[in-house]
Structure 1
Amino acid sequence: MATLKELSEYTGFSITTISRVLNNDPTMSVSDATRSAILEAAGTLHYKKPSPKQRREPHGKLCFAIAEMLSPVEQLEDPYYLYLKNHAVQHCMDLGCTTVSLLEQDDGYHLAGRESIDGILAIGIFSERQIASLSSLHHNLVFLDSAPDELRFDSVVINFKLGVEQALDMLIHRGHHAIGFLGPSRKLDERKRPAPEVRRQCFIDYMKKHNLYDPALLLEAEMTAPDAYRAVQERIRTNGTRPTALLAANEEAAFGAIRALHVANLRVPQDMSVISFNDTPLSELTDPPLTSISTHVESMGRVAVGLLVQRARSTDEHIPLKIVVPPTLTERASVSSAAF
């Protein structure tokens, strides 16, 4: 019997859309083609709605608002945050909780069509002004994938340093020494202020520690497939220093790199190994399947929702928690031993 998550992966529609269609939500407006595709997939995958006994009644009356850093269009370009949201929403549904989206306008965030909520899940990074607006709506505020103020708010983040170390440990063990990094030198920090990009800095620190650092192997690119494609293509075209292995800041950058290598008739991993961060289901669909540092988006979403529920059910004062999730390396076919 399929889950809503599996239906979402099968159809490409969000968990929220699928749930509302299957529950005949009268306020949900979708095309006949969308409704038909969802119903057909539900039949094909033998989906059955959970009975009331399967729901966890103690949490049934809670409602949480979700604030998102990226717009729906931006999420299509980098689906990492879309996966984070979908897993969080799915866990809320599993607990019998409901979710609503927050609308951002010039004067801050607003609830759409609801008078009260039990907490807010903020996914991504937010500016000081945005954080102030969110905290004015509810004191139960949990940040997912950032920790802008550890003294005030609960947060769930990934350990980037550990992920970089795992990737580089494996590459060195496979005989690679000319290892490059593909990504931006600077990015917004956890309060949307310009700062050195964390993964890149962890890479530099590790390579210096092991006497392998070569600044010529840093390929500057935004974390998008087109810009990563441009950066790798330019390196190949100019016969610049070419790494035997490449660590990409995210999946989109890795996809762009692999495409540039294919166009140049260079093979992955024979001519260059590639590793990326995130490890969404898309990593298994590349050619070859992508070795990736898994950030465990499902676990991150579950932990964040757990904090929201715990705080909503408790009247006691609490110390804000910062939960750091350790990534793990998922090995696939995009990495091989270095040629000697």
Structure 2
Amino acid sequence: MAESLAASPSARSAARKRGPSLGDVAAHAGVSTQTVSRVANGLTNVEESTRQRVLASMQALGYRPNRAARALRSGRFRNIGVVMFTLSSYGNMRTLDAIAVSAATAGYAITVVPVERPTQQEVSVALSRLLEQAVDGIIVVIEAHIVDRADVELPSGLSVVVIDSTERSDYPQVDTDQAEGARQATQHLLDLGHRTVWHIAGPGDSYSAARREESWRRTLEEAGAPVPEVFRGDWSTAAGYRHGQEIAARPEITAVFAANDQMALGVLRALHEAGRRVPEDVSVVGFDDMAESDSFWPPLTTIHQEFEAIGRRALELLIAEIEARPEPVRSSVLHTRLVVRASTAPPPAGPAAPAAG
């Protein structure tokens, strides 16, 4: 090798004054500037031992690739934008984590713009902010009925993938089979012998909540079971607790399907405080399979969905669009799985009270 990988004080000082260049790294590593450029751009036609030597020289000199210059040469910024409503929900955080890890593996950075309220104005502002950040493509995770609106314009000429947000067919989409999961939850309770299943739905402007509610209703109708009134929640534990207090006061309710695990947790607390046993008096099913759902008391029967797989698949589709790779599947729907734990059982013995319609 031309010289030791330990940079001399004078070399480090000169690099700090003007910033280390490709030439500095090439001289330090004993390779050509073309080889350094290939490594900096993530190309694979470099021997692994040479790549590691170049990376070590970059670190020793404090070299950082000039993203703007690289974008001028390649036409790409290697940066992906993510527009996401709420960073606090379990599903969104798991999805975002998978997007970030997959992007880093593929040599891309991500820029996240959270949307505080899923309104037309906020979504449009978020998209504009991302365009100012020089991104190669955007992943949209806004599950409310916003992306379908005519006054929300997704960037033209830019690759876009939508997660659980739209019925539009002009962009690749990735989603969980929400209807399948709701059917599994409802049918499980019917198969245990419950006369009907009550539902705590998500917000009225949510696509996933609407799909789950519609499938719950259809499953009951196909089984010839009464369809009770819907409790309307907002995904929070507080909403589940509030509706759980009413459920606890109504002895005719023996089975509850909550549209997510957090609302199911609120129901469990309300039932416990009211002295109604789960599952002996009331069975409860959630949706999401949160990491903590097996530690609820009792452990929660729920619907498992692959948030990480959704994030990875969205990133794969977006990069395929950015890099113009052959990608025959433009959209993906991932299956759900019923996870049976201790919060469900057959209804209590004795005559069941009629369900309210």
SS in 2 for 1:182: strand
Q: What percentage of aligned pairs have identical amino acids?
A: 22
- When you count strand as a share of all residues, which structure comes out higher? 1
Which of 268, 293, 297 in structure 1 is aligned with 2:307?
Answer: 297
Which residue, out of 168, 173, 180, partners 1:149?
A: 168
Q: How does 1:1-340 map to 2 (within 5 A)?
A: 62-70=78-86, 72=87, 75=88, 78-102=89-113, 108=125, 109-111=127-129, 115-125=133-143, 126-127=146-147, 128=149, 131-132=152-153, 134-136=154-156, 139-150=158-169, 152-184=170-202, 187-189=204-206, 197-216=210-229, 218-237=230-249, 240=250, 242-314=252-324, 321-340=330-349
Question: Distance between the aligned counterparts of 2:279 and 2:105, measured in 1?
Answer: 40
Cα 1:102–1:229, aligned 2, differ >3 Å: closer, same or farther? Answer: closer
Aligned counterparts of 1:287 and 1:79: Cα–Cα separation in 2: 19
The one-letter code sitting in structure 1 at the alignment partner of 2:339 is T
Secondary structure of 1:96 counterpart: coil
Structure index of larger Rg: 2
Q: Deviations over 1:129-175 (max 9, x none)?
A: 7841x425x5200011223411x211101212111221222222222
Question: After superposition, what is the alpha-carbon deviation per residue over 1:110-131, rounded to whole angstroms, capped at 9, x for unaligned?
Answer: 4469752221111123443784
Cα displacement (A) at 1:176: 2.0
2:192 corresponds to which letter in structure 1? Answer: R
Q: Which residue of 2 aligns with 1:27?
A: none
Distance in 2 between residues matched to 1:121 and 1:66, nearest whole Å: 5
Q: Please, what is the CA RMSD of the aligned residues?
A: 3.1
Aligned length: 269
Q: CA deviation at 1:260?
A: 0.4
Q: TM-score, normalised by structure 2?
A: 0.67
In the alignment, the residues of structure 2 paired with residue 117 and residue 154 of structure 1 have an alpha-carbon distance, to the nearest angstrom, of 18
Are the counterparts in 2 of residues 236 and 242 from structure 1 also a CA contact under 8 Å?
no
The 1:241–1:322 alpha-carbon spacing in structure 2 relative to 1, beyond 3 Å, is farther
Specify whether residues 65 and 172 from structure 1 end up closer, same or farther in structure 2 by C-alpha distance, changes over 3 A only. same
Unaligned 5+ runs, structure 2: 1-38, 45-75, 116-120, 350-357
Q: Distance in 1 between matches of 2:216 and 2:165?
A: 20
**Alignment gaps of 5+ in structure 1:** 1-52
Could you report, residue by residue, the CA deviation over 1:11-31 in whole angstroms, capped at 9, with x for unpaired residues? xxxxxxxxxxxxxxxxxxxxx
Give the deviation of 1:66 after TM superposition.
0.8
| One-letter amino acid of the counterpart of residue 273, structure 1 | S
